[in-house]
Structure 1
């Protein structure tokens, strides 16, 4: 199936049909599985026999979802988690030991930064940060104890673009694990493994589900690294539920058509905002005004569904804008069929200090729009009336 395109891989992943010969993979709501005899049971536990034992370890639905993501990302193996943050936490804690060190981009999701700044230090795991425009400084941050280089591209929430190939080359040169959060792009728009990533993480809650229904996360990549993550996760319990896996696997079948429309709408929204008198600037990867526009077009098929912009007037203007929205949703989620507006300084990144927020480009007037699947003229009309208040 490796020669097939991503859209086909998402739809035509081989499933194991039951005696009923179903066309669509059924839902396997079982916590455990039975064995043929005592020897079969012993071998399955003692020798890691490849079969389902317990749904915390594996389940036909989670296996199907993982296989689809691996095929789409070009990964060797993977493991699915209960949420995007459980994927992030488990991946790092499975691969790191006390006194290890991470080099990370400064511009990352607020909860990930809280993990690096407040939780991992409990085990003497430290993090050094580089800015979006300081990729050349990465090597100067690397220590003998450094194990991982971490990045998001596009970044959350300012949609900056990182040169994944350059970072991948640094990681390979220094024998480090390169991990990329590919949530904003999805494997349809970007495959970081092609640029040197060893592991790719997704919050499947976002565009992979695409309809605001279920939580989920997944890490895919090198089989040897995934084996360590699997052994950690099967003993600590952050597994994705079979029902959520079933939902996410079905959602992947429509990922391409949904993301195409998301990106079409987002580009129109970005162009509108860029021309509005109350907006200081707009950040969207496929706008020519984006600082990394050329790089975005090399790495990504389309620009994604997230648009960031700064309203003149700072925090109060941002709050007034959100209070004036009528059609779009006020939510901390993204990647939904419904368009969502978020004020990062007071929500997703509120727990960071103002200094840390400014380092990642989060000003008081910054607004993030997750552009949905409504008619684009209706989305723009709501944004326009809110900006005129």
Structure 2
């Protein structure tokens, strides 16, 4: 970490600032290197840059100063040694899985609760490239533990999206690494504010930076962070898969990170308040929120999370019909996909983010057609609850 004595909030507030000496009178924010190419200098200079003998840039798909700075910030926030910035969360998964499985044989072990977009990507990879993907329910501890011993790599999403199920990272790491498998944790929902998987031994962390990290719903991006230093092969995989990001997108993500800690404080407060409110509503059949299913889930939450966060889902007693009516009646809360923005967002996963899963796959994942996912924003909590209340009214 760059500043081990400074809090996460302080590091966020100064993210993206210039580190040039004050005597040089630099701008607080570093300039955006909005260029696809860089001057190579002499032939000897070019050789030194391309060979890696000294730092430098040649082409923005290979590296860019603005993108590099974002990578350093994200690695710092998660406590990792290095990061790779990608064009989307799915690109981050592709990059991380490819790097983690390089030189390994055996299946990629994951679980039915992973995000719909991740499910579709892995299904595509299995069909096109014959990637072995083994989806196992972590709730079946015997089967889960057995699968970890023969895994080439493991992909976790905890909390899962949209059912908020938790998986014990430390226990998974212990069993997976005993067989030589790397563990990848999608930390998009929890964020480094509420959970830091490297503390529990994870090898890789991935994010969709479009979500809480950016927080402004105005970019698409992702990142891959590694606990150990990145290797030349890791960087080659990232570069050649092509899912890199341009300087402007990287700058926008950095801009969002400056308010990340401040936003998460309000997200967490509002998320907890909405969860407690929904539990008391007679129209609501079930609420899914991290660590509130059973004693084991509570134990995992208390062990590896500092707060359950601001994403939850719930089912209404009227099923799909009630869910559709609820979404149609919303006035403040936006009926839209994605999550982690300043604004509260509601969607029906079966008809949006998880639409690419077959009905059978959704059933295995436990996602009913009437499930509503709610990303709780930073608005005044009384306004959020007022909108929820009027949308839940059964009268026309």
Q: Smaller-chain TM-score range?
A: over 0.9
Distance 1:85 1:243, change over 3 A: same
Determine whether 1:365 maps to 2:367.
Answer: no
2:124 corresponds to:
118
Equivalent positions of 1:101-112 (< 5 A) are 101-112=107-118
1:345 corresponds to:
350
**CA separation in 2, counterparts of 1:375 and 1:297?**
27
For the 8 Å contact 1:78–1:223, the answer to whether it is kept is: no
Instruction: Give, in angstroms, the shift of residue 324 of structure 1.
Output: 1.4
1:11 corresponds to:
13
The size of the alignment, in residue pairs, is: 388
CA RMSD of aligned residues (A): 2.1
Stretch deviating more after TM superposition (13-22 or 249-258): 13-22
2:213 corresponds to:
208
Instruction: Give, in angstroms, the shift of residue 332 of structure 1.
Output: 1.0
**CA separation in 2, counterparts of 1:151 and 1:226?**
22
**CA separation in 1, counterparts of 2:241 and 2:304?**
35
Q: What is the TM-score of this pair, normalised by structure 1?
A: 0.94
Equivalent positions of 1:276-295 (< 5 A) are 276-285=281-290, 292-295=297-300
For the 8 Å contact 2:330–2:391, the answer to whether it is kept is: yes
Instruction: Give, in angstroms, the shift of residue 223 of structure 1.
Output: 4.0
SS of residue in 2 equivalent to 1:292: helix
Distance 1:289 1:281, change over 3 A: farther
For the 8 Å contact 2:83–2:224, the answer to whether it is kept is: yes
Determine whether 1:218 maps to 2:214.
Answer: no
Distance 1:147 1:225, change over 3 A: farther
**CA separation in 2, counterparts of 1:360 and 1:11?**
38
Instruction: Give, in angstroms, the shift of residue 118 of structure 1.
Output: 2.9
Distance 1:234 1:287, change over 3 A: same
SS of residue in 1 equivalent to 2:225: strand
Instruction: Give, in angstroms, the shift of residue 252 of structure 1.
Output: 1.2
Instruction: Give, in angstroms, the shift of residue 143 of structure 1.
Output: 6.8
Q: Which runs of 5+ in 2 are unaligned?
A: none
1:28 corresponds to:
33
**Residue 194 of structure 2 is aligned with which of 181, 189, 192?**
189
**Residue 388 of structure 2 is aligned with which of 378, 383, 386?**
383
- Superposed CA deviations along residues 231-254 of structure 1, whole A, max 9, x for unmatched, are 012123211111111111121121
**CA separation in 1, counterparts of 2:115 and 2:143?**
21
Determine whether 1:63 maps to 2:65.
Answer: no
Distance 1:298 1:369, change over 3 A: same
Determine whether 1:139 maps to 2:141.
Answer: no
**CA separation in 2, counterparts of 1:186 and 1:112?**
17
Instruction: Give, in angstroms, the shift of residue 63 of structure 1.
Output: 1.1
- Superposed CA deviations along residues 67-108 of structure 1, whole A, max 9, x for unmatched, are 111111111111000111111112223443696411102100
Determine whether 1:150 maps to 2:155.
Answer: yes
Instruction: Give, in angstroms, the shift of residue 115 of structure 1.
Output: 1.6
Stretch deviating more after TM superposition (259-268 or 29-38): 29-38
**Residue 304 of structure 1 is aligned with which of 309, 334, 339?**
309
Determine whether 1:332 maps to 2:337.
Answer: yes
Distance 1:133 1:289, change over 3 A: closer
**CA separation in 2, counterparts of 1:226 and 1:259?**
32
**CA separation in 2, counterparts of 1:227 and 1:387?**
54
Q: Which runs of 5+ in 1 are unaligned?
A: none
Distance 1:48 1:87, change over 3 A: farther
**CA separation in 2, counterparts of 1:37 and 1:228?**
27
Distance 1:138 1:288, change over 3 A: closer
1:164 corresponds to:
169
Instruction: Give, in angstroms, the shift of residue 47 of structure 1.
Output: 3.9
SS of residue in 2 equivalent to 1:56: coil
